[in-house]
Amino acid sequence: MTDLHTAIRQKLQAAQRILILSHVRPDGDAIGSMLALGLALQDAGKQVQMVLSDGLPATFKHLPGAEQIRAQAEGEFDLIITVDCSDAARAGPALPPNRRPDIVIDHHLTTEAFGELNLVDPAAAATASVLTRHLPAWGLTITAPIAANLLTGLVTDTLGFRTSNTTPEVLRQAADLLELGVDMSTLYFRSLVRRTFAAARYWGAGLSRLQRSDGIVYTSLTLADRQASGYSGRDDADLISVVSSIDESEIAIIFVEQDSERVKVSWRGLKPHLDVAQIAKQFGGGGHRAAAGAEVRGSLPEVQERVLRLTRRALNHE
Ligand code: 5GP
Ligand code: MN
């Protein structure tokens, strides 16, 4: 084992009360990775709290251990771990101010080394892939409930094994997890296919304003759309997966109004040579070459104007 893995193993062994955090607007990899690591540490006799500042989205309520996830931490901890989180701000208010996480486990290209120990593998398709590879070396066992969570991370971050970083290793990991008795078909359906009626109506609002210019296909989702549709999250309900499937475009963007002063922006690069993480970084965000995001200050019209201008510029410079 490398020094890093020896150090991680020692920290995990020495800790008794462990806090696991992930990012705001959590996705399947954030939740699956948190639950997999949390359940594995509980099986090893640790007290574990799993906290998501935004709470658990309804899409993932079926995951083993999901009922344990809470929105706020309570009590003291001797170890804090973040999963799938590229910087301290992404962890949201659940990360105590002025406290560095002890261990950061992630796979983003733009991740800062903001923990004491940083296990970051940008080549990995998902944080769940990093965990699938390393949990056994840390003395932790992958049981069937843990496998279901890991597989959910793999399936969601690769959009059902469709992204260009779906390597032979990811497929081998999925096969190994399946052998532990996981029902992949049901997990796949629940996390990637099934959606609520409210989410479909929310999509409708966004799709009705869809626009395309200069190779950029984009739309917005507003607070009013969420109210009218009854959609309770503050994300795009994965509308980006529809918008990024539109032909004859180079970049897809969705603007999600958070409040009067903040807009969540998602970029998807639709051509292999594009690196949208570099555009997101200009707005204080990050992510991967093909998929990136940022939370940008300003009203929806202001942010839309600035982001479209800089994205056009980035396209012209390619
Ligand atoms: P999405 O657009 O679906 O929210 O995220 C796409 C990718 O960009 C994901 O890998 C996600 O972790 C990353 N990302 C999204 N928003 C932010 C952000 O505000 N900051 C950073 N650093 N990364 C983000
Ligand atoms: Mn994530």
Centre of ligand 2 to C-alpha 202, Å, is: 22
Q: Starting from the edge strand earliest in sequence, which strands make up the sheet with 262-269, in order?
A: 211-213, 216-221, 251-259, 262-269, 291-297, 286-287
pLDDT digits 0-9 by tens, 159-174: 999 999 999 999 999 9
Structure tokens that stand for 21 in this block: 């955090």
13 pLDDT band, cuts 50/70/90, is very high
Final residue in a domain of this structure, among 192, 221, 251: 192
Phi/psi at 4 (5° precision): -60, -45
- Per cent of the chain over pLDDT 90 is 94
DSSP code per residue over 101-149: -SEEEE--TT----SSEEEE-TTSS-HHHHHHHHGGGGT----HHHHHH
Split into its structural domains, the chain has a count of: 2
Instruction: Compute the distance between CA of residue 268 and CA of residue 129 in angstroms, rounded to an integer.
Output: 22
Question: What per-residue confidence (pLDDT) applies to 316?
Answer: 87
29 CA to centre of ligand 2 in angstroms: 5
Ligand number nearest to the C-alpha of 22 = 2
Strand partners, 190: none
- Residue 118 burial (C-beta neighbours within 10 Å; 0-12, 13-18, 19+): middle
Residues 156, 241: Cα–Cα separation, whole Å: 11
User: Is residue 150 packed enough to be buried (19+ CB in 10 Å), middle (13-18) or exposed (0-12)?
Assistant: buried
Please list, residue by residue across 264-288, b when 16 or more beta carbons sit within 10 angstroms of its beta carbon and e when fewer do: bbbbbbbeeebbbbbbbbebebbbb
Q: Of 137, 172, 192, which closes a domain?
A: 192
Ligand 1 site residues (CB inside 6 A) read: 86-87, 90, 108, 110, 266, 285-288, 291-295
pLDDT at 245 (0 to 100): 95
User: Is there a single domain that holds both residue 186 and residue 80?
Assistant: yes
* CA of 110, closest atom in ligand 1: 22
User: Is there a single domain that holds both residue 146 and residue 232?
Assistant: no
What pLDDT was estimated at residue 317? Answer: 58
Say what the pLDDT of residue 318 is: 47
User: Residues 39, 20: contact at Cβ < 8 Å?
Assistant: no
pLDDT digit string (tens) for 51-99?
999 999 989 999 999 999 999 999 999 999 999 999 999 999 999 888 8
Per-residue CA distances from 256 to 7, 193, 269, 291, 296 (Å): 40, 21, 18, 16, 10
Does one domain contain both 178 and 221? no
Q: How large a percentage of the chain has pLDDT more than 70?
A: 99
Phi, psi of 264 (to 5 degrees): -85, 125
* 184 conformational bin, left if phi > 0, alpha if psi -120 to 50, beta if neither: alpha
The domain that contains 64 carries what CATH number?
Answer: 3.90.1640.10
Shared domain for 147 and 211, answered yes or no, is no
Q: Quick one: angle between helices 127-134 and 144-157, nearest 10? A: 140
Q: What is the 3-state secondary structure (H, E, C) of 149-162?
A: HHHHHHHHHCCCCC
- Pocket test of ligand 1: the residue of 53, 54, 108 to mutate, having most ligand atoms within 8 Å of its CB, is 108
pLDDT of residue 85: 96
Does pLDDT of 6 surpass 60? yes
Please check whether residue 111 is in contact with residue 122, taking contact to mean a CB–CB distance below 8 angstroms.
yes
Among residues 269, 257, 268, 270, which one has the least CA distance to residue 296?
257
Ligand nearest to the CA of 239: 1
Ligand positioned closest to the Cα atom of 29: 2
Does 154 lie in the same domain as 299? Answer: no
Nearest ligand 1 atom to the CA of 288 is: 10
Domain boundary pick from 192, 214, 242? 192
Judge whether 80 and 102 are in contact, CB under 8 Å.
Answer: yes
> Ligand 1 centroid to 136 CA: how many Å?
28
- Give me ligand 2 centre to Cα 20, in Å: 14
**What is the domain-level CATH number for residue 225?**
3.10.310.30
Range of the domain at 208: 197-317
Residue corresponding to tokens 């965990």: 131
- C-alpha span between 70 and 72 (Å, rounded): 6
Q: Whose CA is nearest to atom 6 of ligand 1?
A: 292
What 8-state DSSP symbol labels residue 71? S
- Closest CA to ligand 1's atom 12: 287
The answer, as to whether pTM is greater than 0.85, is yes
